[in-house]
Amino acid sequence: MAVGVFDSGLGGLTVLDALQQRLPQVPFVYYGDNAHTPYGVRDADDIFALTCAGVERLWAEGCDLVIIACNTASAVALKRMQETWLPPGKRALGVFVPLIEALTERQWGDNSPPREVAVKHVALFATPATVSSRAFQRELAYRAIGVDVEAQPCGGVVDAIEQGDEILAEALVRSHVDALKRRMPHPEAAILGCTHYPLVQKTFQDALGPQVKVFSQANLVAESLADYLTRRPEMLGTGTRSVNLTTGNPAQVSARATQFLRKGVKFEAA
């Protein structure tokens, strides 16, 4: 009954942690492609190929349903996977839709026409590939009208987190927030459009100010998955073990994951 969680590196662990707390009875298999991180500077074909390889590895662990916990992969590869690649009986779900449903105050699975919402000025912080894909704006347009989105590509932040350099990561966050605020001085809400960014969420909030509501994905994705599995229990796969897999060096990745999550995390070679 295992569910897979795919990410380009460490960021998806923020989603995994929320999923495990919300669904403690479900075994989760995490796959971090640390050998190829960051995805945010790669081209679309490369991201697609790497994501498909990771999802296939999760299928081998008995995960018929995979959460694409990497925003870049969700933005760049997921739609193509769903339309051209996924076989019958397999599903891959992304992390944008639950976030947008929360931002627009819509119920899970609400597919009614787009309407005006309370929030009009939204800052989006994401990887360069996610920003250039405009996937967030496209999904938002399905659900809301009249929302101004200013997107800031946050080069270097994922690298700094993956390398365990918290000081550099926090300095880069402040620089990127300053750059966005020069273009949108008074955002009402901010979207952390990368699952690595909750690891430096406090820095984002401090730089933006207390008046800006910061939306992060982990708990929203967990609630959305719980709802999905209530409606589609047949998507629980045959896998029975919970394990963290990495394409990187397991000892190094375990140490960095433990440092950022501030609890013991153990990885095995994928």
Residues noted as catalytic: 70, 194
Residues 67 and 4: beta-carbon distance below 8 Å: yes
Structure tokens at 216: 């992060």
**What's the Cα-to-Cα distance from 50 to each of 43, 96, 133, 244, rounded to whole Å?**
11, 19, 17, 17
Q: How far is CA 119 from the centre of its chain?
A: 22
Element (H, E) at 29: strand 28-32
Distance of alpha carbon 220 from alpha carbon 7, whole angstroms: 17
Residues 174 and 204: beta-carbon distance below 8 Å: no
What SS3 class is residue 92? strand
CA-closest candidate to residue 224, choices 64, 135, 97: 97
What SS3 class is residue 203? helix
Element (H, E) at 69: none
What SS3 class is residue 211? coil
